């Protein structure tokens, strides 16, 4: 049986659905229709049904989804039934904040290892995590079988750090460096380039705040 | 003339192309074909040409793009020919790191204003930015005509903070809170939900490291 290719956006939306279900559960709701789910969270109900259908039959026609059950299934699909040890490379301002960021730990992602190339940083401890030198990266990742890495290194170092990580067995990278990484097939990279995000906002801001043109024939 | 709707992904890619051009310029390159550009940075050359074509005729057939000129045009299109004052709401671990993050300032985005609801934080200064109380948010944003905001607040506060910002004239929000924001048409939101990003990575990690099934008839 050939596996169905699941769209990347579907996977992203599963996480968002899961968050909605957590919120509903906290409110004491036990079941919900795709339409109600869509209305409450500003989602598209046809999209919700389509996304979930990739993974099986979850809802009951006319009754909707049983929240605890769907939540359990989404957690299973997303690989959240286990805790993940995450390695951080690059402990500057952003890296330090990521170690301290509570949002990760709450979701089963623990930054338990941190590496930096600066000798001044090696040995420092941030939130119980001791910063190690880059020479320790590969052996430690191998020994601990770490699969997920967060990179907060300068752009110039990004590709070589990614190669070190992949060589040591990492298969998923959350990359904050403003650089396109080239990685082998099977390794997943998520880029979070804050300046690219801000640029798309400035693009929209220029347009949103542009004076309205009254002459339809005026040149652009 | 009806304006052409530019795909969101095209706008994101323009920022990436701009970064590539900056790198080429730093290397002393003055012109490049779309094919060379694509090869060097792992892009798709047909995509590059299509994305740029939305905004005009930039390349010269057979000669490619003049780098300084294309860079100037991309900066103009993206609204980067001016500096943007950016407001930060929520000065926790992540917010503090964002104020200190050098990547913003270098690109013409300056977090010049920061607000937090905690009285203990109000009056503190981080990197020359004095944290103000939430009661000062609307009047300050109006007076300074700030259009771009970064939100690093808890999920429960996100929607009400977004409404305050929009009411005060903000038209673009970079949202780090794990919450879906509902905003009026014309206001642009970019969500950076780090835990959603990690979940898509755990999804891929489970699959990348799953033992290979040898029996094609085994149940999933």
ipTM of the complex: 0.78
- Looking at residue B208, its pLDDT comes to 74
- Looking at residue A57, its pLDDT comes to 81
The partner residue sitting opposite A79, judged by closest CB among B107, B180, B202, is B202
The answer to whether residue A159 scores a pLDDT higher than 50 is: yes
Confidence class for position A208, pLDDT limits 50, 70, 90 = confident
What mean pLDDT do residues B154-182 have?
94
Domains of chain B: 8-76 (1.10.10.10), 84-198 (3.40.50.720)
Nearest residue of A to residue B187, measured between CA atoms: A208
The answer to whether residue B216 scores a pLDDT higher than 50 is: no
CA distance A73 to chain B (A): 13
- Interchain pair A190, B200: CB under 8 A: yes
Q: Which of B194, B207, B219 to mutate to test the interface with A (most CBs of A within 10 A)?
A: B194
Higher pLDDT, A202 or B149: B149
CA distance B115 to chain A (A): 18
Higher pLDDT, A184 or A195: A184
**Residue numbers in B near A8 (CB within 8 A):** 200
Q: State chain A's mean pLDDT as an integer.
A: 87
What mean pLDDT do residues A153-161 have?
94
Write the CB contacts of A161 (distance below 8 Å, at least 6 apart in sequence). Answer: A89, A90, A151, A153
The answer to whether residue A125 scores a pLDDT higher than 90 is: yes
- Looking at residue B218, its pLDDT comes to 40
Confidence class for position A193, pLDDT limits 50, 70, 90 = confident
Q: Could you tell me how many residues make up chain B?
A: 220
**Residue numbers in B near A101 (CB within 8 A):** 93-94, 194
The answer to whether residue A77 scores a pLDDT higher than 80 is: yes
- Looking at residue A219, its pLDDT comes to 41
**Residue numbers in A near B93 (CB within 8 A):** 97, 100-102
Confidence class for position A41, pLDDT limits 50, 70, 90 = confident
Query: What's the CA gap between B97 and A95, in Å, rounded?
Result: 9
- For residue A15, what is the enclosing H or E element? helix A8-26
Q: Which of B181, B204, B213 to mutate to test the interface with A (most CBs of A within 10 A)?
A: B204
The answer to whether residue A53 scores a pLDDT higher than 60 is: yes
The answer to whether residue B220 scores a pLDDT higher than 70 is: no
- Looking at residue A93, its pLDDT comes to 83
What mean pLDDT do residues A96-119 have?
85
- Interchain pair B195, A171: CB under 8 A: no
- Looking at residue B64, its pLDDT comes to 85
Could you count the other beta carbons within 10 Å of the beta carbon of residue A68? 12
The answer to whether residue A215 scores a pLDDT higher than 70 is: no
Q: Regarding beta strands B65-66 and A172-175, do their DSSP bridges make them parallel or antiparallel, or are they unpaired?
A: unpaired
Write the CB contacts of A40 (distance below 8 Å, at least 6 apart in sequence). Answer: A20, A24, A32
- Interchain pair B196, A172: CB under 8 A: no
- Interchain pair B109, A202: CB under 8 A: yes
Q: Looking at A87-91, B55-59, B172-176, which range is the least confident one?
A: B55-59
**E strand segments, B51-146:** 65-66, 84-89, 109-116, 125-126, 129-133
A and B: number of Cβ contacts within 8 A: 194
How far does Cα B55 stand from its chain's mean position? 20
- The winner for highest mean pLDDT among A37-41, A90-94, B168-172 is B168-172
Q: Which long-range contacts (CB under 8 A, 24 or more apart) does B32-38 make?
A: B32/B64, B32/B65, B32/B67, B33/B59, B33/B63, B33/B64, B33/B65, B34/B59, B34/B64, B34/B65, B36/B64, B37/B64, B37/B65
The answer to whether residue B132 scores a pLDDT higher than 50 is: yes
- Interchain pair A190, B201: CB under 8 A: yes
The answer to whether residue A145 scores a pLDDT higher than 80 is: yes
Percent of chain B surpassing pLDDT 90? 45
The answer to whether residue A156 scores a pLDDT higher than 50 is: yes
- Looking at residue B196, its pLDDT comes to 83
What is the pTM for the complete model shown?
A: 0.77
The answer to whether residue B215 scores a pLDDT higher than 60 is: no
Higher pLDDT, B93 or B112: B112
Residue the block writes with tokens 């509570």: A102
Higher pLDDT, A219 or A67: A67
The partner residue sitting opposite B78, judged by closest CB among A78, A79, A203, is A203
Rg of the Cα atoms in chain B:
22
- Interchain pair B174, A197: CB under 8 A: yes
Percent of chain B surpassing pLDDT 70? 91
């Amino acid at each position: 049986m050939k596996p169905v290719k699941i769209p990347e956006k579907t996977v992203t939306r599963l996480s968002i659905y899961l968050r909605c279900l957590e919120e509903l559960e906290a409110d004491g709701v036990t079941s919900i229709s795709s339409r109600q789910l869509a209305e409450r969270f500003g989602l598209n109900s046809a999209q919700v049904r389509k996304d979930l259908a990739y993974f099986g039959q979850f809802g009951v026609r006319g009754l909707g989804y049983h929240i605890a059950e769907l939540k359990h299934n989404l957690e299973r699909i997303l690989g959240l039934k286990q805790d993940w040890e995450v390695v951080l490379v690059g402990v500057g301002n952003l890296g330090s904040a990521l170690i301290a960021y509570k949002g990760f730990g709450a979701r089963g992602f623990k930054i338990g290892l941190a590496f930096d190339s600066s000798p001044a940083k090696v040995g420092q401890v941030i939130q119980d995590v001791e910063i190690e030198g880059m020479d320790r990266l590969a052996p430690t990742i191998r020994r601990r079988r770490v699969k997920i890495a967060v990179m907060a290194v300068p752009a110039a170092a990004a590709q070589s750090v990614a190669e070190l990580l992949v060589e040591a067995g990492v298969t998923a990278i959350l990359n904050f460096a403003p650089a396109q990484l080239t990685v082998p097939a099977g390794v997943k990279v998520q880029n979070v380039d804050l300046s690219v995000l801000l640029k798309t906002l400035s693009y929209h801001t220029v347009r949103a705040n542009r004076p309205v043109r009254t002459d339809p024939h005026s040149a652009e």
